[in-house]
Amino acid sequence: MVRLADIAYPSLRQITAFLSPRRIVFGIDSRKDLAKEIRRLEGSRPLIVTYAEPKLISTVEEIVKILRSDGMDPIVYDQAEPEPRIEVAENLATYARNGSFDVVIGIGGGSAMDLAKIASMSVTNPKPVRDYLGVDLVPKKGSSLVCIPTTAGTGSEVTMFSVLSVGKKKMDVASPHIIPDVALIDPFLTATMPPQLTAGTGMDALSQAIETVTSLAATPLTDCLALTAIQLAAKWLRAACADGSNLEARSGMALAATLSGLAFGSGKLTLGHSLAQTFGPARKISHGLSCGIALPYVMDFYLPVIPERLSLIAEAMMVETRGLSVSEAGKVAIHTVTKLVEDVGIPLSLKEFGFAKGEMSELAEICAREWPRPNSPRELTDQAVREVLEKMWEGRILA
């Protein structure tokens, strides 16, 4: 059995910073405290950014009612879209700049919250959104920002990222100035997610946490968060998919998502998200689903170099590892994750999404070029990535 204290952290030989929102409010019915949170931020003119999702209409109406009864007059912008395009972000930026809003509230999944971040920053940063794509290019903090997730996956409510689709590519605005001031997490709001969305978004949370554990930038702090997120997802994801109204399971997954966001925001992601962000947009496979498909293969890829870290994952998933070598325990982690992916109905081969085997070389080249990960414990060469993608195409797992 490996203990956290036995792990060698390359990150401890450098200076590291941990970033997070100033307030994280968590709990069933916490949405009812939104007006109080806005007053605390000295806001009075809120802009709500969301999408016209039929299952969220009553949630948005309730929030508007709560704010109105506190004397505010919120404006609802419901033109957000899943995996938002840069053009949508530019339109929203113009809208936000013209509205003299002093607080932006993002209600929805990662896509709506990521657009809310754009609205908030645009109030004080006048250039086109496109100019802020990249790391640390946003000069000033924007309006106050509250993010309220309605999926349990991305952890965007606590991160410094806004992910936008630019043509067929995914690109980030990455800046401490877009970290929400308040993350308000009410697991009740995730109860309307159907099983497939629950599974895909849950896999996003799990893969963020697992990739952070595999990262050379992981710290003891990010590991505490990531391993707890893994434990929660192992315990609650099946139950949340089987019965969406199980609020204990929804709470477990909501917490898993927030913890995974806190973890990866500083500990960083590795090959899984590079792959997902390459093949997902190529076939319009949702972000969470893409992460789930890639996850077991990525663990398999890292097993030879960080078996002790994979064995920590097995223990977090509450699997018995006594008497096993670290390598055997690492394999157990891969099998346990694979079983979870299968149990929640996620296919495990790229063939099933209509890819041809010949496309793997080009995808590998794009993945290695566009999504390099200096913090990956194995170098992501074209060839290494192609080998992983070919296994994924065939559905050939595992160690």
121 within 8 A of 177, measured Cβ to Cβ: yes
95 within 8 A of 136, measured Cβ to Cβ: no
Q: Which residues ranging from 93 to 112 are in contact with ligand NAD (CB under 6 A)?
A: 108-112
Q: Which residues ranging from 270 to 299 are in contact with ligand NAD (CB under 6 A)?
A: 287-288
The DSSP symbol for 182 reads E
Which of 287, 391 has the CB closer to ligand NAD? 287
Which of 163, 253 has the CB closer to ligand NAD? 163
User: How far is the first Cα of the chain from the last one, in angstroms, to the nearest whole number?
Assistant: 20
Which position among 146, 193, 298, 337 is part of the footprint of ligand NAD (CB under 6 A)? 193
Which of 143, 311 has the CB closer to ligand NAD? 143
* Stretch of residues binding ligand NAD (CB under 6 A), selected from 53-61, 98-106, 335-343, 378-386: 53-61
My answer on whether omega of the bond before 398 falls inside 30° of 0, hence cis, is yes
Which position among 74, 153, 330, 377 is part of the footprint of ligand NAD (CB under 6 A)? 153
Please report how close the Cβ of residue 155 comes to ligand NAD at its closest, in angstroms: 6
Strand order in the sheet with 23-26: 23-26, 182-185, 144-149, 103-108, 46-49, 75-77
Token duo for residue 157:
């409510």
CA distance 184 to 26: 6
Quick check: 321 binds ligand NAD (CB under 6 A)? no
Quick check: 258 binds ligand NAD (CB under 6 A)? no
Token duo for residue 311:
């064995």
CA distance 309 to 334: 12
* Stretch of residues binding ligand NAD (CB under 6 A), selected from 128-136, 139-147, 162-170, 377-385: 162-170
Which of 136, 379 has the CB closer to ligand NAD? 136
Token duo for residue 318:
């509450």
Quick check: 251 binds ligand NAD (CB under 6 A)? no
* Stretch of residues binding ligand NAD (CB under 6 A), selected from 33-41, 93-101, 156-164, 387-395: 156-164
Token duo for residue 225:
């968060």
Least Cα distance to 190 among 198, 182, 179, 199 occurs for 198
Quick check: 163 binds ligand NAD (CB under 6 A)? yes
Which position among 77, 101, 161, 355 is part of the footprint of ligand NAD (CB under 6 A)? 161
Which position among 20, 143, 144, 150 is part of the footprint of ligand NAD (CB under 6 A)? 150
Token duo for residue 90:
């530019």
Please report how close the Cβ of residue 45 comes to ligand NAD at its closest, in angstroms: 25
**244 Cβ neighbours under 8 A, 6+ residues apart:** 191, 192, 193, 194, 195, 198, 250
Which residues of this chain interact with ligand NAD, rule CB under 6 A?
51, 53, 55-56, 82-83, 108-112, 114, 150-151, 153-156, 159, 161-163, 170, 189-190, 192-193, 197, 201, 204, 287-288
